[in-house]
Amino acid sequence: MAGGGEKTPANSAQPRKARSPHGSVYGRSSECQKQGACTPSPSFSSKDSRQQLVTPVHPLKSVDSRSSPCSAGSVGSDSGAAPFDICMNCNKGPIIRLNPSLLEINRDKRQNRQLCKDAAPLQYLRPGMVLLKKFIKPNDQVRLCLHLFFFQSQINHVKIVKVCQQLGVGSGGFYRPGYRNGAQLRLWMMCLGKNWDPDSCSYGDKRPFDGAQPPTIPEEFRKYVQDAIQASHELLKQHVGAANAVEELPLMSPDICLLNFYNSSGRLGLHQDKDESRSSLDKGLPVVSFTLGDTTEFLYGDVCDEDKVSKVDLESGDVLIFGGKSRLIFHGVSNMKPKTAPKWLMDETNLRPGRLNLTFRQY
């Protein structure tokens, strides 16, 4: 995944050894360090981030209790603390909610339809990078988005949140990666398919700190990714011609998914996703990223410098794809925009305030 943890400031002569919470992102690999690339610092400014290596800790385990359980300084075993639940009260019986009035329901649906009509189905951000606006549909609504008529996507907001919630409270579920000095990254994460280890900046079969095997990627999620890539090809043809669409964004079959949950103060420093296999990176196999919940500002560019990057808002239902010539762009998440999640999504799922992000890759 991306490097989540700290990053080396771009202008730092001595690249930092910090690693990112998500694989590739922040100075994941020694290669990254050699290149002087950023190590992601989801939680810190580059000034603050002069810390020790990132090391994942169990969400509720105190930092002090990390008594060097493993040589790399990575976390100890599961302390038995409660797993992080991205939804509130999900396991505590039915949620009692007053029925919204017909007026409210209709207003909500009208707004959604309007948003969907207004959004251009595809934003071409740069070669190899596209944004499918509002590609993920609400479950109860016939979408008017043009691309959905064409591609019949079955991607469904509520279903994705519910599946992630269930996976997140099980073995290999959400945890809060942290730094050796006790500071924590500003997100919760978990992996599907393969584990991305922030300490070694590499993928493996098990999570070193508790031995948990990451859950497999649900088949329907893999199908959503195929739908999104196919849709992007159809729409890309208008920009680059039919012959070039697949070259611009190569096909891929995801075997890794990193899930991130950001609360209202969540962020992820600039980093590159480059811990996938050499062949995957060389072919430019894309990273496909889903946003659900609150809107966030996404940064991307050729250099690891927040003053030189472009910005785009990612809203609930958006699918961002970057591959080909953009596979190794620097990217990160800066400002969360609280209370921007669709009301119907919060009502249906009881998702915590914040943003759920899924990034799919092929190792």
User: Residue 192 in 3-state DSSP?
Assistant: strand
Q: Which is nearer to ligand AKG, 255 or 273 (CB)?
A: 273
- Of 122, 148, 268, 281, the one binding ligand AKG by CB under 6 A: 268
- State the amino acid at position 352 in one-letter form: R
* 357 binding ligand AKG? (CB under 6 A): yes
Two tokens at 3?
A: 């490097």
Two tokens at 36?
A: 């002087």
- 271 in a known ligand binding site: yes
Which residue is at the shortest CB distance from Fe ion? Answer: 2
Task: For the beta carbon of residue 168, count every other beta carbon within 10 angstroms.
Answer: 24
Smallest distance from the beta carbon of 161 to ligand AKG, in angstroms? 15
- Cα within 13 Å of Cα(246), Cβ side: 6
- Of 25, 53, 187, 341, the one binding Fe ion by CB under 5 A: 25
* 359 binding ligand AKG? (CB under 6 A): yes
- Of 258, 304, 309, 351, the one binding ligand AKG by CB under 6 A: 258
Torsion of CA 237, 239, 241, 245, to 10 degrees: -60
One symbol per residue from 302 to 341: x for binding ligand AKG (CB under 6 A), - otherwise; what is it? -----------------------------x-x--------
Tell me which residues in 271-300 interact with ligand AKG (CB under 6 A).
Answer: 273, 289, 298
User: Residue 358 in 3-state DSSP?
Assistant: strand
CB 137 within 8 A of CB 317: yes
- Of 85, 273, 315, 348, the one binding Fe ion by CB under 5 A: 273
Return d(Cα 32, Cα 94) in angstroms, integer.
48
Smallest distance from the beta carbon of 89 to ligand AKG, in angstroms? 25
How buried is residue 280: exposed, middle or buried, by Cβ count under 10 Å (0-12/13-18/19+)?
buried
CB 119 within 8 A of CB 316: no
Applying CB under 5 A, the residues found at the interface with Fe ion are: 2, 25, 273
Applying CB under 6 A, the residues found at the interface with ligand AKG are: 1-2, 22, 25, 258, 260, 268, 273, 289, 298, 331, 333, 357, 359
Give the residue numbers of the binding site for Fe cation. 271, 273, 331
